[in-house]
Amino acid sequence: MPFQHISIENYKILSREKETTLIDIRDPQAFSAGHIEGAIHISNDNVAEFVAQTDMGRPLIVCCYHGNSSQGAADFFSQQGFAETYSLEGGYAAWKG
């Protein structure tokens, strides 16, 4: 199934109803400066390990700066076999807003 877009509000609802995995694909400095609680930082250095070790049946939410880069990443993770993959609309900027 291709990735879907998810609003911040719908992400909050989904994460209350189900165990989800939230990943942040921003650069390490941005992630260190602030991120959504529970987010896992993913980069080219750890993506293969993440895919190999993560429950693909759990909804996966991808966060970036503004919700643009996360779309391509969400598509990638969907192609890797994640059952439910979402791009967080507005990214971290909207979350922090």
Active site residues: 64
Residue count of the chain: 97
Tell me the β-bridge partners of 8.
none
Q: Yes or no: say if 88 and 63 are a contact pair by the CB < 8 Å rule.
A: yes
Closest Cα to residue 89, out of 34, 17, 14, 1?
Answer: 14
What is the Cα–Cα distance from 29 to 27, expressed in whole angstroms?
Answer: 6
